[in-house]
Amino acid sequence: MNDAAEYLIEIRDLHYTRGQRAIFTGLNICIPRGQVIAIMGPSGTGKTTLLHLITRQLVPDSGTILVDGVDIATLNQKELYRLRRRFGVLFQNGALLTDLSVFENVAFPLREHTDLPNRLIRHVVLTKLHAVGLRGAADMMPAELSGGMARRVALARAMVMDPDILIYDEPFVGLDPISMGVIVRLVRKMNDVLGVSSILVSHDVQEITAVADRSYLISDGKVAASGSPDELNKASSDLVRQFMHGMADGPVAFHFDAPDYAEQLLGRDAE
C-alpha cells in the first residue's frame, strides 16, 4: 500500500451510460484512508453501479478510477484478481450461501483464496464471528438466522480476509430498529478497530448521520453535495434538503419521465 497518499480511492470525471440512459456524467469522489464515506442519493441514481465500477465489474465509458494510486483500467486479469482481494463486500441482503453453515460461509473466502490449514481457518473464522457477536451461531444454517443475524454473518465474511476496503451495499435494508442499531455500531467499530476505509451505500439518512465521516449525495450523474452529515443536514440546497429531510415535494419528482398522461390514456400517441 502507498501510505503516503491521502486518498485510497479517487474517482475522476467518471462517465457511464447504460443503454440510452446516462448514469454518470462527470462524477468526482475521493475516499480518504481510515474513514467511513457514505454514498447517498435517490433510488436509481447509480449507487450500486458505482460500486461495480470501483471493483471493475463494469467498465466506465470515460474517466479514471484510482485505487491506491493505480488506474484499475490498466490492470490485467491477474492483477485485478489480486486487487479485489483487498476489498471486503457486504452485499445487499447478505447474500449468504444457503447450503453452507454460518462457519463455512465465513470460511469460504479463506478456502477459496488461501492455503491455510483447517486449524488456522477455524481460529480466524471464530475470531471474526466473535467480533460480530455470533460465535455461538457457527453451526447454524442461514435459514435459521434472523435478518439482522444474517447481515452480521455477512459482515464477518466480508472482513475475514482482513481487507483494506470494506464496501457496504445498503446494509440497513429490511432490518428492525434493534438490528439496525447493531449494524450501525459494527460498521463504525470495524472501521476504527481494523483501520480500514469504508464505503457505505445507503439512503437511510439517520443511520448515515450516526456512522459516516463524510457523505456524497449523487443526483443527475454528478455529486450534488458533499460534506459531513451535519453539514448536509444544514444545507440550503432544495435537492439536499428534500433528500435529507424526506420531503415529498422538491427537485426529485415522484413520477418517472413519461408521455402526456391524457394523450397516452386516449391512445393518441399510438396513432
Tell me the pLDDT tens digit for each residue of 201-220. 887 777 777 888 998 988 88
| Phi, psi angles (nearest 5°) of residue 223 | -80, 115
| CATH code for the domain in which residue 240 is found | 3.40.50.300
pLDDT at 43: 75
Q: For residue 95, how many other CB atoms are within 10 A of its CB?
A: 15
Amino acid at 26: G
pLDDT tier at 236 (50, 70, 90 boundaries)? low
pLDDT tens, residue by residue, 68-82: 889 999 999 999 988
Q: Which letter does DSSP use for residue 256 in this model? A: P
Residue 131 lies in a domain: yes
Residue 60 lies in a domain: no
Residue 64 lies in a domain: no
pLDDT tens, residue by residue, 136-191: 999 999 999 988 888 889 888 988 888 888 898 888 777 778 777 888 888 888 88
More confident residue, 46 or 107: 107
* Res 92 pLDDT > 50: yes
Residue 208 lies in a domain: yes
pLDDT at 254: 45
pTM equals 0.78
Residue 158 lies in a domain: yes
Question: What mean pLDDT value characterizes the chain?
Answer: 83
| Distant-in-sequence, close-in-space partners of 59: CB < 8 Å, separation ≥ 6 | 53, 73
Residue 22 lies in a domain: no
Contact at 8 Å (CB) between 263 and 270? no
In angstroms, the CA 188 to CA 208 distance is 10
In angstroms, the CA 106 to CA 159 distance is 9
pLDDT tens, residue by residue, 240-266: 667 665 555 554 544 455 677 667 777
Burial class (CB in 10 A: 0-12, 13-18, 19+), 60: buried
pLDDT at 63: 93
Number of domains comprising the chain:
1
Residue 270 lies in a domain: no
* Res 46 pLDDT > 60: yes
pLDDT at 72: 92
- Full residue range of the structural domain in which residue 186 is found: 34-52+77-251
Residue 150 lies in a domain: yes
